[in-house]
Amino acid sequence: MLNKLLHLFSEDIAIDLGTANSEVYVRGRGIVIQEPSVVAVNQKTGQILAIGEEAKKMVGRTPGHIVATRPLRAGVISDFEVTEQMLRYFIEKAQKRKFILRSRPRVIVGIPCGVTEVEKKAVSDATKNASAREVFLIEEPMAAAIGARLPVQEAMGNFIVDIGGGTTEVAVISLGGIVLSKSLRIAGDRLNEDIIQFAQEEYKLLIGERTAEEIKIGIGSAYPLKDKRELPMRGRNLVTGLPEEISVSDEDIRRAMEKSVKQIVAEIKMAIEETPPELLADVMAAGIQMTGGGALLRGLDILIQKETKIPTKVVEDPMTAVVRGAGLVLENLDQLHEVLVETEYLEPPK
């Protein structure tokens, strides 16, 4: 009876706690928050100054005592206290009801495949400390597959590639479980680093992370484009110390990211090699499904299809696939609870 009352007055939440961006889904309302996973901290006082979009604007533009930081690295918590503050901010912002009877929410959080029990417990504890009543964890490829409306509970192979900010997750899913998974700590952030390194080595130009990301989004590609594209790249010349602007082409940026892109493709090929034959037959028919912000890199689906000989497509709205899938589990917890991660630290669904 008490659980029914709590359920009635709580706004249950699903969170895709990403290295680069976080999304929040509220039961019955859909996705309500999409913000960068960035927190600005005053190091003198320890005070949190800004979270999300406001904090991202401060990256690279703060005085020495204010640090705009990401509390997650490669999808796992690197700063527990700051992550807790960020989670509390997202949970409070997502909750519409402000009246006294509001109950603490049940929360589903997406985690990368292959994280340790300690890392799972860190996510669970941080979420509980941020005012969650119950915490459930779901592996991101499973959530992404559900968000892409793949038949994960059927006896057939579903091949999903989720490329986020910190990790690339490759998984084969069948009968509501992950048969095979690979987690590679090369994804969107590494591609930004590749562009920064390329600018330094090729042009002796120091550029920031935001500039690198804007160039990646603007002209970045994994496969040659039909039309040549160029963008100005602004930074500081490391020789003269003066500001400089140079023009870079899509070919330059493709060359800069080539090594990391090849590693992602190699990981996918390795997962295909290890997939049981019956499931591989299903995958060859249904194709490889791509989710996450990294899936939007131009031509990456074409390159993967060429290298694997398997049809590859980017799902609709790939950036929100994980949070949409976690939201669907939240809406249908009784039918889909078996897709959640079982750990000794978590209470079973009621």
Residues annotated as binding site for ATP? 19-21, 165-167, 213-216, 293-296
- What's CA 134's distance to the chain center, in Å? 22
Three-state secondary-structure class, residue 69: strand
Which residues fall in the annotated binding site? Answer: 19-21, 165-167, 213-216, 293-296
How far, CA to CA in Å, does 232 sit from each of 1, 60, 196, 202, 250?
Answer: 63, 19, 14, 15, 11
Residues 293 and 105 sit within 8 Å (Cβ to Cβ): no
Residues 200 and 334 sit within 8 Å (Cβ to Cβ): no
Of 82, 60, 58, 34, residue with least CA distance to 293? 34
Rg (CA), the chain: 21
How far is it, in rounded angstroms, from Cα 260 to Cα 239?
28
How far is it, in rounded angstroms, from Cα 159 to Cα 286?
8
Q: How many residues in the chain?
A: 350
How far is it, in rounded angstroms, from Cα 184 to Cα 301?
18
Indicate the DSSP class of residue 23: E
Tokens 């309302």: give the residue. 29
Indicate the DSSP class of residue 317: S
How far is it, in rounded angstroms, from Cα 123 to Cα 213?
27
Q: Which residues, in sequence order, are CB contacts of 178 under 8 Å at separation 6+?
A: 113, 139, 141, 142, 171, 172
Residues 345 and 137 sit within 8 Å (Cβ to Cβ): no
